[in-house]
Amino acid sequence: MPIKKVGVVGFTGVMGAGIVQLCAQSGYQVVGFSRNQERTKKALATIEKHLSRLVEKEKISPADKAAALARISTSDSMSALADCDLVIESAVENMELKKGVFAELDSVCRPDAILATNTSSLSIIDLAMATHRPNQVLGLHFFNPAPLMPLLEVVRTIATSDETLAIGKAFGESLNKTIIVARDAPGYIVNTLLIPYLLNAIRMLDRGQAAREDIDTAIKAGLNYPMGPLQVADYIGLDALLFIANIMYEESKEPQYAAPPLLKKMVTAGWLGRKSGKGFYEYR
């Protein structure tokens, strides 16, 4: 089944808006669903601003920008997604909320439509079983910012059909993404590698093994990484890091995913990284 029209649930968030922009720039008709009209206006303004920056940098033409914006429509009724070929859920990371979204999508979308989630950590088979079409559910895990980051994790559950997987991969390739296929296991591929790395850096700092600057400099200068682990943690958001680590630990019980006490204390204090102005570093 060729994908022509894409729906995005939760498009007013950072990831959702990025996915809408990416799909529109790639030639797809896109419907963004949100029941909050104020946030809808802000998301559309953000997309327009990002496209304007691309025009200023001469990466796209003014005509390209106008065409992308013309492909985007919004609605506060989920029935507007009824004729979409693919719907991508990008709501907040709450299992019960997402299950409700998938159950509602299952009732309004065409029987042959594919349902996908952008979750970075939750069990996709749990979401799939909230529908009557688990064979047509998969993960499409984009990375932030979605229009710029080259990777797409396509996540297959034990119920995802070969046809659904093939369509998901082809869709990702049409967005000019590098595709990797992951099993529906905690963290998929990227977070399974990334989370222990970040948590170990926090443990190292917590036990006084090295100063924060030296930990980050060691990775940047020694491994030629653009950012050190504590800088990456601040960029992701310490609350998001703690959330993902907790989910991975609860499902696997592997000690490498257990959150260090320092991380828990910083989240409790509201030191969440860049978005709060203070994390392992301070930001203005």
Q: Which are the catalytic amino acids?
A: 120, 141, 153, 191
Give percent helix, percent strand, percent coil of the chain, each to the nearest 5.
Answer: 50, 15, 35
Report the number of secondary-structure helices (H) and strands (E) in the chain: 11, 8
Cα dihedral sign, 136-142-147-150: negative
CA atoms in the 13 A half-sphere facing the CB of 68: 26
* H or E segment and range at residue 22: helix 14-25
Match 């691309």 to its residue by tokens: 54
- Phi and psi for 185 in degrees, rounded to 5? -130, 155
Both tokens assigned to 163: 């046809």
Residue 134 in contact with residue 164, Cβ under 8 Å?
no
Measured distance CA(113)–CA(218) in Å, rounded:
48
Both tokens assigned to 22: 């990416």
